Structure 1
Amino acid sequence: MIFCQRFEADAKLMRTVAYLYYDAAWEDRPNPSAWGWQFDAVYEDTDPRRSQLQALLVESIQDPPAFLVLRHLEELGDSLAAVTRALSQLESLGVCVVALEQAYRSQAPARELDGQHVESAPERLALFNGIQQQQRSRQIRQGHALNRLKGLPPPGKAPYGYRRGRDRYAIDRSVAPVLRDFYDHFLIYGSVRGAVRHIAKKHNKKISPSTGQRWLTHPVYRGDLLHRAAIQPDTHPPILLRAEAAQVDRLLRRNQSVAPRAASAPRSLSGLVTCQQCQSSMSVSRVTNQRQTREYLYLRPTTCSQRPKCKALQYEEVLAKTIETICQTLPQEVAGLTQIPLDRIAAGVMEAIADKQRAIAQLPDLVEQQILDEKTANLRTYTLRAEIAELQSKLAQLPPVNLLETAKTVSIPQFWQDLSEPERRFYFREFIRSIEIARDGAQWSIQLRFMF
């Protein structure tokens, strides 16, 4: 390879231009200001026809720049022949071509540099082989990007629960019931580990809790495709419906505040109770009599630093006091929350979604009128659909608008008596962030911190 013998400092005295070529469907725009050069002009192409490169070649006939700086030589064309043709034309005009990420510098004008050495044939062959490999890689990525813009699934095996259809994922009816039972169990009990054990027992499908977590959170099961943190909504039939997905997200956020084992513990107060005096969490311990005919449950501080240590409390007494406090205080707490115009906020988000959907519907007309080309319209559709998915996520994170009616039901003592312990755990964590035990000598009381 022939290297220029000048330094970047010399470029400040001569005209230097930059050339960018990138595909906006899968590449971010390069930043020439971070390359360490001062440019008199920047030529930029996103279309394979490379109109700006052709303009540069024409202008170089009359006024060739001293330096042309780019990232890779393969940006000069879609084939090796096109690259060598553009490179030869530039070098014949005395332009020093600098490919920053290939350590390539072409021969500078002979009148300015002396002692040039001619690059060897193996070096030239290795350079051309590298260009061809990069071009093949770009073609593959462009193909994947085109499929993504059309909402087609990525290459590879379909995720569990789906099979590859003609142009999108289709639900695999033979294994989809496993996922449905997993989701239904989690929505009832709010425990990932419990749902994992459930499908292992019922369907003999053994998965890890991390896989269960992925089943709950991955957009593909909600009918969406994910690429680089951008979600394309409604690309295939969902297994987990939108309303269910919103409930799943609330349950998962709620479980983040408790230990993983407490999230799936059988007792409803597990992971929620703390001692206000010693600031220790309280765990459920089980004691049986000598004949093991009766079981007693206690709440004990796990890491009490007091001397003497804080005493354990009977689980049933704390549970009864918690239910009583919820029935007394929850209606007032929810009444304050309902002053926030949740319905107005939700309506604003839904209107923004509708605006973007109308913009998507207008794009085919713009293509037909030749205001936009098809590739630009596809890219704009892709961007708008990703923005719609983000708005739908914000909408799902809002508290349910029927919170007041739910609070009225939950505030009835008989409601709690009819529930099992896992069902109580579900409702406790729907409303309660933590339960604090306030002690005053031998007396104690309950203080609730609600989610909202």
Structure 2
Amino acid sequence: MVIIAYEYIDPLWQPLPDPQAWGPEIDHWVLDVQASRPQLRYWLQRLAPGYWLLHQLSALGQTVVEVSDRLRQLEAANITVIALAEGYVSDRPPSGDQVLFLWDQVKQQLHQQTLCHSHARNRLKRRPPPGRAPYGYRRGKEHYVIDRAAAVVVKDFVEHFLLYGSLSAAVRFIADTYHKRISVATGRRWLTHPVYRGHLYYQGKTVIPHTHAPLIAPDEAAQVDRLLRRQRSLPRRSASAPHPLAGLVICGECQQRFGRTQVQPYRQPSQYAYLRPLHCPFSPKCRSIPYDAALAAVIDQIAKRLPPAIAQLCLPLPTLTTQMEAIDRQLQQLTELERQGLLNAETVQLRRYKLAGERARIEAQQAQLPPSNLLQLAVTLGQPQFWYQLSAAEQRFYLREFLRAIEVTSRPPQPWSIHLRFIWESPIGGVS
């Protein structure tokens, strides 16, 4: 008795199956990748008693009538058909309501396959997925177009986040300014979703780059990603604190964080700020230090250490650029092969779709690299007067771009001191 495992897949949206999944007992593994099912027609002309194994009955055709006719043809040749999804075995055919339920399942499977095929066609043509357009866009004939009234809200939200580094503050800002109320989760989606960067996002895994006008420019997107990544290691309330050292200062002895405390001396017009350890386990506790003096010491160390540290920093080799150039060459070759008639249009479309997704993945990796003008920027940041011309929010932004932590040693009776830990250095203690 011959055992045949038959499968049909749509290569536009289904991966190539593994024949080993059927086990070593089968005699033949038959696969069709065309809707006309040429392999199935070939084997239907050479039927012999045995067993046919299927994942679904819908693999036998494109319509219920076609599936029914081919199933009847197999059973007439003394072949036992086993469909795993439906639990169907032709030796024990269903009866009554079970028959109606079986063919209703087949009808739903065929309908689902038709929908998936249509969606895959749209992906190959770089068309948006079905459903409502994201906030800030509206559906055009072939792609998303910017909704000018809503896009202003998204752009101002992004600018406010880049300036102050707080999701909750940006959410409150657009609620007060535009009376648009969203959750923090929605705000995070605006910042990170590929659609706002000009890309399409299919099925939660494939990104097709540069399909429509972006609301977040590439340089802004890279800054957003760096800010969100840095904020994961900071206390929640430090994200948008008004002073630049918030969340960065830790004790060099016990790794506990320092907090900023502000007091106003009796009958004095000015306030006095200092940093104090929040949960120091030592006795006597580590000393508090003047805030302004600590900030000045940080700026002084940055001026001395940052330019040479960046000069010695081994930046990644330009392998990503080389990979993107290779993908661009493959795309050009596809056009030439299609013109010569060596590849049909459907194969070229499918290959372009896969190469575009790979290129988008590499571009996302490249966006996380340090900017190309990093050395020139280090020269500017190495000048103390530059820092004193910045606002507190701007100081906070640059400090978090380069610093992992500011390590303070203030154990009495020794004078206090600080040491900077840059982001490319290994984490210290529990700080990550």
Name the amino acid aligned to 1:449.
Answer: R
| 2:287/2:411 contact within 8 Å kept | no
Match of 1:449 among 397, 421, 430: 421
Alignment of 1:195-234 (within 5 A): 195-227=170-202, 228-234=204-210
What is residue 430 of structure 2 aligned with on the other side?
none
Match of 1:66 among 50, 74, 77: 50
- Cα offset, 1:210, TM superposition: 2.0
Which stretch of structure 1 is more off in the superposition, 353-362 or 31-40?
Answer: 31-40
- Cα offset, 1:387, TM superposition: 0.6
Three-state SS of the structure 2 residue aligned to 1:43 is: strand
Three-state SS of the structure 1 residue aligned to 2:215 is: coil
Three-state SS of the structure 1 residue aligned to 2:85 is: helix
Q: Distance in 2 between matches of 1:320 and 1:212?
A: 35
Cα deviations across residues 312-345 of structure 1 (Å, max 9, x unaligned)? 22211211111111111111211111xx365xx3
Change (3 A) 1:238 1:118: closer
Q: Distance in 2 between matches of 1:65 and 1:368?
A: 47
What is residue 80 of structure 1 aligned with on the other side?
64
Q: Distance in 1 between matches of 2:385 and 2:55?
A: 71
Q: Distance in 2 between matches of 1:263 and 1:255?
A: 6
| 2:286/2:410 contact within 8 Å kept | no
Change (3 A) 1:262 1:65: farther
Tell me if 1:135 matches 2:119: no
Tell me if 1:324 matches 2:311: no
- Cα offset, 1:89, TM superposition: 1.1
- Cα offset, 1:35, TM superposition: 4.5
Q: Distance in 2 between matches of 1:66 and 1:187?
A: 68
Match of 1:407 among 362, 378, 402: 378
Cα deviations across residues 7-42 of structure 1 (Å, max 9, x unaligned)? xxxxxxx42111111222222333443355622111
Tell me if 1:102 matches 2:89: no
Tell me if 1:296 matches 2:280: no
Change (3 A) 1:68 1:429: same
| 1:288/1:294 contact within 8 Å kept | yes
Question: Which 5+ residue runs of structure 2 have no aligned equivalent?
Answer: 425-432
Question: Which 5+ residue runs of structure 1 have no aligned equivalent?
Answer: 1-13, 108-116
- Cα offset, 1:291, TM superposition: 6.3
Three-state SS of the structure 1 residue aligned to 2:280 is: coil
What is residue 419 of structure 1 aligned with on the other side?
390
| 1:16/1:65 contact within 8 Å kept | no
Match of 1:164 among 139, 142, 158: 139
| 1:278/1:310 contact within 8 Å kept | no
Q: Distance in 2 between matches of 1:207 and 1:139?
A: 36
What is residue 144 of structure 1 aligned with on the other side?
119
Cα deviations across residues 219-271 of structure 1 (Å, max 9, x unaligned)? 00011011231110011111111222122222222222212221121111111
Three-state SS of the structure 2 residue aligned to 1:377 is: helix
Q: Distance in 2 between matches of 1:118 and 1:383?
A: 43
| 1:285/1:299 contact within 8 Å kept | yes
Q: Distance in 1 between matches of 2:53 and 2:73?
A: 15
Tell me if 1:430 matches 2:401: yes
Change (3 A) 1:128 1:449: same
Change (3 A) 1:191 1:124: same
Q: Among all aligned residue pairs of Structure 1 and Structure 2, give the percentage whose two residues are the same amino acid.
A: 44
Q: Distance in 2 between matches of 1:355 and 1:32?
A: 32
What is residue 428 of structure 2 aligned with on the other side?
none
- Cα offset, 1:43, TM superposition: 0.6
What TM-score does the superposition give when structure 1 sets the normalisation length?
0.88
Name the amino acid aligned to 2:423.
Answer: M
Name the amino acid aligned to 1:28.
Answer: P
Match of 2:254 among 264, 278, 299: 278
Q: Distance in 2 between matches of 1:364 and 1:239?
A: 31
Q: Distance in 2 between matches of 1:247 and 1:130?
A: 49
- Cα offset, 1:55, TM superposition: 1.9
Q: Distance in 2 between matches of 1:298 and 1:446?
A: 14
Alignment of 1:40-59 (within 5 A): 40-59=27-46
Name the amino acid aligned to 2:416.
Answer: W
Name the amino acid aligned to 1:88.
Answer: R
Q: Distance in 1 between matches of 2:252 and 2:9?
A: 59
Q: RMSD of the TM alignment (CA)? A: 2.0
Cα deviations across residues 151-181 of structure 1 (Å, max 9, x unaligned)? 1111111101101111110000112111222
Q: Distance in 1 between matches of 2:211 and 2:246?
A: 40
Cα deviations across residues 48-71 of structure 1 (Å, max 9, x unaligned)? 1111111221232xxx25211111
Q: Distance in 2 between matches of 1:354 and 1:428?
A: 35
What is residue 15 of structure 1 aligned with on the other side?
2
Match of 1:352 among 323, 329, 335: 323
- Cα offset, 1:123, TM superposition: 2.1
- Cα offset, 1:370, TM superposition: 4.1
Name the amino acid aligned to 1:447.
Answer: H
Which stretch of structure 1 is more off in the superposition, 322-331 or 286-295?
Answer: 286-295
Three-state SS of the structure 2 residue aligned to 1:308 is: coil
Cα deviations across residues 100-158 of structure 1 (Å, max 9, x unaligned)? 11101112xxxxxxxxx664243222211111111112111211111111111111111
Three-state SS of the structure 1 residue aligned to 2:260 is: strand
Q: Distance in 2 between matches of 1:187 and 1:364?
A: 41
Q: Distance in 1 between matches of 2:37 and 2:268?
A: 83
- Cα offset, 1:351, TM superposition: 3.5
